[in-house]
Amino acid sequence: MVQDSRVLDARYYMPAFSRRMKLVRGAGSRVWDDRGREYIDCVAGIAVCSTGHCHPKVVEAICEQARRLIHCSNLYYVPNQAELAERLVGLTGLAKAFFSNSGAEANEGAIKLARVRTGRKKFAAFTHGFHGRTCGSLAVTHKPAIREPFEPLSVPCAFVDYGDLDGLAEAVDRDTAGVFVEPIQGEAGVIIPPDGFLRGVREICDDTGALMIVDEVQTGMGRTGKWFAFQHTGVTPDIVTIAKGLASGFPIGALVAREGLEFQKGEHGSTFAGGPLACAAALATIGVIEEVLPDIPRKSERFRRGFATHDPRIRGLMIGITVGERCAEVQQRCTDEGVLVNCAGDGNLRLVPPLVITDGEIDTVIEVVNAALG
C-alpha cells in the first residue's frame, strides 16, 4: 500500500512537494499514518485543523448539508453563506464579507478590491512575508526564490523590512492602493513584530489613503488567543483576509472589509467560493472555537513554560523556535517519537497545534521537542 502510493505519486503527480509519509486518519489532535502509527499533530495542516481532525460537530454539519444541497451557484442565495458573512463581520468588527476558496484567493480579492475602490495600482508589503502563490498574491510575497521565477507579475509591490516604519513611510505614497501585512509572520517562522508596529502601519495608511490589508490567513480564527491577531493591538484594518483555520480543513477563504469597501456587481466572483458545504463547516468551526478560545492563553502559557530554555516566540498556539541548520533533523526526531512539527523559514521550528489540544498532549509535545532539541 505504502509503496503503491509512492510509486503512483512519483509517476503521476507533479513533484512540487517533498513528502515522506501518508496520513490516513485523524481524531482531535491525533493522526495515524498508513502503518498505523499515531502522532500528535502540531502541524495541523499548517494551522488549518483548528478544531482538530474530524471534530464531530464539523463532520455532522458537513454531512447534514451534504444530504440537502452540495452545491449552488452564486447566482442564487447560497445556504449558510449570509449567516457566515454575518458571523465574520461580527468577529472582525468590519462591515461586509466576500468568500474565496483559499488564502491566496482571499488576498487576490483584496488586491482587486483595493485597486478598484482606490483607483490606485501599487502595493507595499514586507520582507519574509507570505501571501500566497497565485500571480497577484505572489507579487506581494517577498521570498525571491518562489516569486522571481514567475516575474514579471502585474502587481507592482515595494518590499520593506518587517517592522521598519520609516521604510514603510518612504515606500508608501498617494499612488499606493494598499499595504499587506501579517500581524505575525507565519511562513517566515513565527516572527513577531515590534510593539506598536501595526499602529504605525495604520497611521501611514491613514496619512496616504492606502488601505491597510491585514493577512490573518494563518494567525486568524483564534490561533493567537483572540479571534484575530490584530485584536491584540487596538488597531482596525480596512480589509482582513482569512482562510486556513476557518472551516477545520474544508477549503474556504474570506475577505472582510470596512464600511464603504465592497465589490459592486460583476467586479468579482467565483464558481465554488462560499458554497453551502464550506460555509456549514465554517459555521460549525466557529461554534467550536468559541468554546475553546478562553482556554488558549492558559495552554499557551503551558507551552511557554515548557519551552522556556529555548527562548520560544509564542502567541496563543502559534509557536516558533529558532533551531538553525538542525531544523530538519529535529523535525525528523520529533516524528520518530510521535510528534509532527515542521520547519518554517530560516531554520525556525513551527508548532501550530489544533486549538483543542489537551494538557496531556501539550506535555508530551514539550517532552519530545525538548529531547529532540537536545
Ligand X SMILES: Cc1ncc(COP(=O)(O)O)c(C=O)c1O
Mention every residue, 6+ apart, whose C-beta is less than 8 A from residue 208. 172, 173, 174, 176
Q: Which stretch binds ligand X (CB under 6 A): 149-157, 210-218, 228-236, 287-295?
A: 210-218
Q: Which stretch binds ligand X (CB under 6 A): 151-159, 179-187, 312-320, 327-335?
A: 179-187
Q: How far is the CB of 173 from ligand X (least distance, A)?
A: 25
Instruction: Determine the size of the site formed for ligand X (CB under 6 A).
Output: 15
CB 352 within 8 A of CB 317: yes
Per the document, the length of the chain is 374
Q: For the chain, how far is it from start to end, CA to CA, in angstroms?
A: 35
Q: How far is the CB of 218 from ligand X (least distance, A)?
A: 4
State the DSSP H helix or E strand holding residue 297, giving kind and residue range, or none if neither: helix 296-306
Is 354 an interacting residue with respect to ligand X (CB under 6 A)? no
Q: Which stretch binds ligand X (CB under 6 A): 2-10, 100-108, 197-205, 260-268?
A: 100-108
Of residues 131-160, which lie at the interface with ligand X (CB under 6 A)?
Answer: 131-132
Single-letter code of the amino acid located at 72: C
Is 198 an interacting residue with respect to ligand X (CB under 6 A)? no
Single residue of 186, 193, 220, 275 touching ligand X by CB under 6 A: 186
Strand partners, 176: 122
Residue 204's Cβ-count burial label (10 Å; 0-12, 13-18, 19+) is buried
Q: How far is the CB of 361 from ligand X (least distance, A)?
A: 24
Is 103 an interacting residue with respect to ligand X (CB under 6 A)? yes
Of residues 32-51, which lie at the interface with ligand X (CB under 6 A)?
Answer: 46
Q: Which is nearer to ligand X, 131 or 226 (CB)?
A: 131
The CA radius of gyration of the chain, in Å to the nearest whole number, is: 20
Q: Which stretch binds ligand X (CB under 6 A): 19-27, 126-134, 230-238, 258-266?
A: 126-134
Q: Which stretch binds ligand X (CB under 6 A): 54-62, 79-87, 212-220, 356-364?
A: 212-220
What is the Cα–Cα distance from 62 to 67, expressed in whole angstroms? 9
Nearest residue to ligand X by CB is 103
Is 182 an interacting residue with respect to ligand X (CB under 6 A)? yes
Q: Which stretch binds ligand X (CB under 6 A): 14-22, 116-124, 155-163, 211-219?
A: 211-219
Is 218 an interacting residue with respect to ligand X (CB under 6 A)? yes
What is the Cα–Cα distance from 318 to 46, expressed in whole angstroms? 10
Q: Which is nearer to ligand X, 246 or 321 (CB)?
A: 246
CB 196 within 8 A of CB 152: no
Is 224 an interacting residue with respect to ligand X (CB under 6 A)? no
What is the Cα–Cα distance from 205 to 158, expressed in whole angstroms? 14
Q: Which is nearer to ligand X, 232 or 326 (CB)?
A: 232
Is 102 an interacting residue with respect to ligand X (CB under 6 A)? yes
Q: Which residues of 103-134 are buried (b: 16+ CB within 10 A; e: fewer)?
A: bbbbbbbbbbbbbbbbebebbbbbbbbbbbeb
Single residue of 43, 62, 104, 352 touching ligand X by CB under 6 A: 104
**Which residue in 225, 308, 222, 252 sits closest to 50, CA to CA?**
222
What is the Cα–Cα distance from 23 to 67, expressed in whole angstroms? 27
Residues that bind ligand X (CB under 6 A): 46, 102-104, 107, 130-132, 182, 186-187, 215, 217-218, 243
